[in-house]
Each structure stands twice: as structure tokens, then as C-alpha cells.
A and B are shown apart, each in its own frame.
Chain A
Amino acid sequence: MKKNRLRKTVQIFFLVFIALIAVNHTLAETGAAIPLIGNASLHAVCPFGGVVSLYQLITAGTFVKKAHESNLVLMLIVFASALLLGPLFCGWVCPFGTVQELVSKLGRKLFKKKFNRFIPYSFDRYLRFLRYALLAWVVFMTARSGQLVFANVDPYYALFQFWTGEVAVSGFIALGVTLALSLFVERPFCKYACPYGAVLGLFNLIRIIPLKRNSSSCISCKKCDRACPMNIPLSGAGSVRNHQCIACFECTSTDGVCPVPGTLEFRTGSFEKSAKTGEAE
């Protein structure tokens, strides 16, 4: 298997898996569920449900409507992985991230090198904080109402529940806008609007195994900068702790575009020390 195909395979697996669960939930309501496939509701398998339930769970000991114990468990699992490597969930699992990437393939063909480079990074870097404002709004409103308020504007929910009649018009609009923007920008929802991505992004600041760049071997070809779907300027960094990293490995020298071995890696310890002990290769 080609290196860069591994992430795609995992992503497609989770995309299909979640789609099947969503469809099976509808089928189960009519008594026609496909055996051996889970039929939980889409809400019940979303780790973000755990995050927005936290306030109510702590203050009243209950989950918000449509959230369950599964949400809390999934949230903790994803947090554990994020503590280790950062937002692996975003880069490898999130079905909506995968859908945006699939649409972006078309955008890349249409706009070639211009794709994902429409907004200057100096301006764009501030826009990336929008998702924290959205996160604060979602957490506050959910705590106040006891309901999953984000579902009404959640394009992910709209995509995987469009046939149920439960999706608000605002959800469909959010979905349409996101898919349209994906033709110009890689993962627009993740960059600017995903409240769960905002939470997981914070783990980049404290992850145990960070992405590190070996400045002594780096040839400054900037291939990593161009490969990064989140437009992070990696070629000038030492230890990458950018809150937008999705741990996709596209930039690395182990599995991505970096042409110099032992230069851009997810690792602990220093490159020099590893070189002496022969670990880097």
C-alpha cells in the first residue's frame, strides 16, 4: 500500500461506517435494520456530544437531550488520542473532514496551484479563531437550553441525516456553503467553523508527541508548506504546536512530502540525540 493511501483508507472506512450507522438507524425505526451494523443515532456516536454535555453532566448529573453515555466515552477516547498526537480524529476519522477532502479534489483540479491559497495567511490566520467563538456559543447555548443546538446549523448532521426530515433549513444551507467552499479551500469547515476541531486543536499545544522539524537537515524546499491542508507554515517552525494541525502526516519525512529523511517527524526527543543513537533512520 502506498504511504499516502493509508490515511485515505482509514478515512473512507470511517465515512462508510458512520453512513451505514446513520442509515441503519432509520431502517431500525421501520423494523428493517441491517443485522450486525450498529443502529445508534448519529448524535449518540458523536464525541462532540460529550463536550457539550459536560456542563449539564457536572451541574445536574444528566446528559443534554439526545446525548448519552456513549458520547462521553467517545469524547474521552478522542481526547486521549489527542493528548498523545493531537487531533488525529480530525485528520483520520472525522467523516465530514473526509467529505470536504473529496470535494476539494475537484477544486484542486480546477484551480491547480491557486487552490487553498486564495486567502493570504497573514489575514487567514486570524479568521481561524472564528471556530473558538462558535465553540463558546455552542457550549453556552447547549448549557442554557439542555438541547443539542448545534444540530440546527451542523453541516455534518445535515449530510448524514438529510433523508430524515429532521434537518433544519439552516443545516442544509451550512452544508451547501461548506461543500461549495471546499472547491476553493481545503477543509473550510474545519478551519473556520468546527467547534469540535477547536477543542481538539488545543491539544496541539500540549500533545506528548509533537511534530518536529530538524532545522539542520531541512533544505527549505517548502514542500511541507504546500502539502499542509491547513496552510500551516511548517518550514519556519521548530516544534510545530499550531492549533490548526490535524496530524495528517502529509508533511512528514516518514510518510509525506518531505524529501529529506529525519527532517519532519512526529517524535519525542531531539533529532541530534536520535542521530547519535541511530534512531532517526
Chain B
Amino acid sequence: MKITAKTAALILPLFFLVGILSTMAAGYWATESSKTPVKYETGEFAGEYNPADIRGSYSFGDIENVFGIPVDSLARAFGFTGEEDPSAIQAKLFEEVYGIVDGKEVGTDSLRYFVALYLGLPYEPDEETALPQPALSVLKKEAALSEETLAEVESRLVSLETVRLETDAVAETEHEEALDTTIKGKTTFADLYTWGLTEDQVRQGLGGLEPGARGTAVRDYCTEAGIEFSTVKTALQEMVDNL
């Protein structure tokens, strides 16, 4: 038997077509997680869903459907009580919202750990896995944890307040930078206009020269024009301060 390129060109597309269609028909073909975790196969918990198989794409709603933990409890534990639809919150969002806090990580593994604790299922979280503070209150109220387990949970707690403070600090810095009207090396002509100077005032500060493009830094403009930045800066700063 001899195979030509024409036959070769048909083989893989044909195999793909037959293979994919037949597995689709058999209900096996899947390109995304089924949101049904695997079950423990042996031991005391054989037949129960294994939280170790929870993926980042699992939402609180999926967890409620599979593990029976109410969305409200999950939302409280992970600090999403203010959300409009907490059932749609996915585990992968944790990394974005919390990420690394005090060297510990609140991520998908935190949800696996929480579910295991809540249901009393065996699970070994990663070393750096953490839980947000409210998770402990939820677990204390709704799960039956031993003193030993509670102590382990406490060693893995991070305060949501810390996250908020860090987030607020960043926002505060950005806000302060926006409010700061001191002319610096990176100050652009656009900044001057935003602070309230008119084009005429800027021209005056430049000693009668035509102002540069809005995105140009004043210092770069001065260097190019061969004029003293410090002189221009003093003149413009005085005008800005008098606004």
C-alpha cells in the first residue's frame, strides 16, 4: 500500500472529525471543567466529593450545588457579603482581590481548605495557604472543629483589614500624587493646564516662548529650548500657587 500527500492530508482532519464527534455523542468530550469534582475512591470518605479537585473556575454557587455549603456562608467567610450576586464569585477571584497577604496566599487552595474544614473532609493545604479572618467565625459557628484543627486554622488566618489597609494605602498615595501641584521633572504641560493655568500664563512662564505639546515634560522642553528649567519652574510654580 502506498500513501500519497492527498491521503495524508485527509487522515488527521478525518480522525479529528470522527474522534471528536464520536466522543461528543458519547458525552465524553469536554473543553472545560464540569464543575463536578472527583470523589474519594477509598477510605472512610469513599464516594464523597473531594475538595482537592476544586478549580479556580468554581463559583460559590458551584460549591453550594456540589458540597452543600450555603453561598451566604462562603460569601461571609471570604468577605464578599456586599456583592450583588455572591453565587457567581469564582475562586480564581481571590488571588486578584487578596493575593499574598503577610507572606500567605488567599487563593483557590483556600477555598479547598475551607470546604474540607467545613465538611470535616481530609485535605492537606499548601504551606502558604491562608484563610481570611471571617472564615474562622463561620467555621466556629457552622462546623464542628477540634481544638487542634482550630489552632491550625488560626495559624493560617490573615486579616481582611490588612488587605483593605494596603489597598487604601495605595489608593491614598495615588490620590495624594494627583493632588500634589508641585512642578517636578516629570510634570507635563497637560498637568499645568489641569491645575488651572492658561496657555497664556504658561507662555509667560516660559519667557514668551510657545508652550510645548500637552504630553511633553516641561523640563524636557526647557532642555530642548536651551532655557533654565529652574527659572521656568519658579515662575510657573508661583502662578500655580496663586491659583
**B-contacting residues of A (Cβ < 8 Å)?**
3, 6-7, 9-10, 38, 40-41, 44-45, 60-62, 65, 68-70, 73-74, 76-78, 80-81, 84-85, 88-89, 92-93, 209, 247, 249, 252, 254-255, 265-269, 274, 279-280
Tell me which residues across on chain B come within 8 A of A40, comparing CB atoms: 31-32
> Could you tell me the distance in whole angstroms from the C-beta of B125 to the nearest C-beta in chain A?
14
Rounded to whole angstroms, the CA-CA distance of A209 and B7 in the bound complex is 12
A68, A81, A280: which contacts B32 (Cβ < 8 A)? A68
| A266 nearest CB neighbor, chain B only | B3
**A-contacting residues of B (Cβ < 8 Å)?**
1-6, 8-9, 11-13, 15-16, 19-20, 23, 28-33, 38, 41, 53, 55-56
Rounded to whole angstroms, the CA-CA distance of A61 and B37 in the bound complex is 10
Inter-subunit contact A44/B9 (CB<8 Å): no
Tell me which residues across on chain A come within 8 A of B53, comparing CB atoms: 62
Instruction: Enumerate 14 A-B pairs (CB-CB under 8 Å) in ascending A order.
Output: A60-B38, A61-B38, A68-B33, A70-B31, A77-B19, A88-B11, A88-B12, A89-B12, A92-B8, A92-B12, A255-B5, A255-B6, A267-B3, A280-B2
| A274 nearest CB neighbor, chain B only | B2
Asked if A88 meets B8 with Cβ closer than 8 Å, knowing A65-B55, A73-B20, A73-B28, the reply is: yes
> Could you tell me the distance in whole angstroms from the C-beta of A270 to the nearest C-beta in chain B?
12
Inter-subunit contact A255/B4 (CB<8 Å): yes
> Could you tell me the distance in whole angstroms from the C-beta of B146 to the nearest C-beta in chain A?
27
> Could you tell me the distance in whole angstroms from the C-beta of B55 to the nearest C-beta in chain A?
6
> Could you tell me the distance in whole angstroms from the C-beta of A88 to the nearest C-beta in chain B?
5
Rounded to whole angstroms, the CA-CA distance of A88 and B12 in the bound complex is 7
Tell me which residues across on chain A come within 8 A of B20, comparing CB atoms: 73, 77
Tell me which residues across on chain A come within 8 A of B4, comparing CB atoms: 249, 254-255, 266
Asked if A41 meets B32 with Cβ closer than 8 Å, knowing A60-B38, A81-B11, A92-B8, the reply is: yes
Inter-subunit contact A93/B3 (CB<8 Å): no
Inter-subunit contact B15/A6 (CB<8 Å): no
Rounded to whole angstroms, the CA-CA distance of A10 and B4 in the bound complex is 15
Tell me which residues across on chain B come within 8 A of A268, comparing CB atoms: 1
Rounded to whole angstroms, the CA-CA distance of A89 and B31 in the bound complex is 20
> Could you tell me the distance in whole angstroms from the C-beta of B86 to the nearest C-beta in chain A?
20
Most buried by A among B2, B4, B16, B30: B2
B9, B19, B41, B56: which contacts A73 (Cβ < 8 A)? B19
| A10 nearest CB neighbor, chain B only | B9
> Could you tell me the distance in whole angstroms from the C-beta of B4 to the nearest C-beta in chain A?
5
Asked if A73 meets B23 with Cβ closer than 8 Å, knowing A85-B8, A88-B12, A249-B8, the reply is: yes
Tell me which residues across on chain B come within 8 A of A60, comparing CB atoms: 38
> Could you tell me the distance in whole angstroms from the C-beta of A255 to the nearest C-beta in chain B?
4
Inter-subunit contact A266/B31 (CB<8 Å): no
> Could you tell me the distance in whole angstroms from the C-beta of B58 to the nearest C-beta in chain A?
12
Tell me which residues across on chain B come within 8 A of A80, comparing CB atoms: 15, 19
> Could you tell me the distance in whole angstroms from the C-beta of A45 to the nearest C-beta in chain B?
7
> Could you tell me the distance in whole angstroms from the C-beta of B111 to the nearest C-beta in chain A?
14
Asked if A266 meets B32 with Cβ closer than 8 Å, knowing A61-B38, A81-B15, A274-B2, the reply is: no
